[in-house]
Amino acid sequence: MLRSDQIRKPIPRTVSTAPNHLFLVEDDRRLAALISEYLQGQGFRISHEIRGDRAPSRILDTQPDLVILDLMLPGLDGHGVCREIRAGYPGPVMMLTARDEDLDQVLGLELGADDYVVKPVQPRVLLARVRALLRRFGQAATPPATEDRDELHFNRLRLSYATREVHLDGNLVEVTDNELELLWLLAGRAGEILSRDLILKRLRGIGYDGLDRSVDIAISRLRRKLEPDPSRPIGIKTVRGKGYLFVADVW
Q: Is the pLDDT of residue 109 over 90?
A: no
Of the pLDDT bands very low, low, confident and very high (cuts 50, 70, 90), residue 220 is very high
Q: Where are the domains of the chain?
A: 20-136, 151-250
Residue 95 φ then ψ, to 5°: -90, 125
Higher pLDDT: 101 or 60? It is 60
Angle between helix axes 177-188 and 214-226 (nearest 10 degrees) is: 80
Which pLDDT score is estimated for 146?
Answer: 40
Share of the chain above pLDDT 70, in %: 79
Structural contact between residues 66 and 133, judged by C-beta atoms closer than 8 angstroms: yes
Q: Is the pLDDT of residue 6 over 60?
A: no
Q: What angle do CA 126, 132, 133 make, to 5 degrees?
A: 90
On average, the pLDDT of the chain sits at: 80
Q: How far separated are the first and last CA of the chain, in Å rounded?
A: 62
Of the pLDDT bands very low, low, confident and very high (cuts 50, 70, 90), residue 111 is low
Domain 151-250: which CATH number of 1.10.10.60, 2.10.260.10, 3.40.50.1820, 1.10.10.10:
1.10.10.10
One fold for 20-136 and 151-250: no
Q: Is the pLDDT of residue 3 over 70?
A: no
Which pLDDT score is estimated for 5?
Answer: 41
Assign 3-state DSSP to the chain and report helix, strand, coil percentages, each to 5: 35, 20, 45
pLDDT in tens, 140-177: 544 443 444 578 888 889 998 878 899 999 899 999 88
pLDDT in tens, 34-58: 899 888 888 888 999 999 999 999 9
Q: What is the CATH number of domain 20-136?
A: 3.40.50.2300
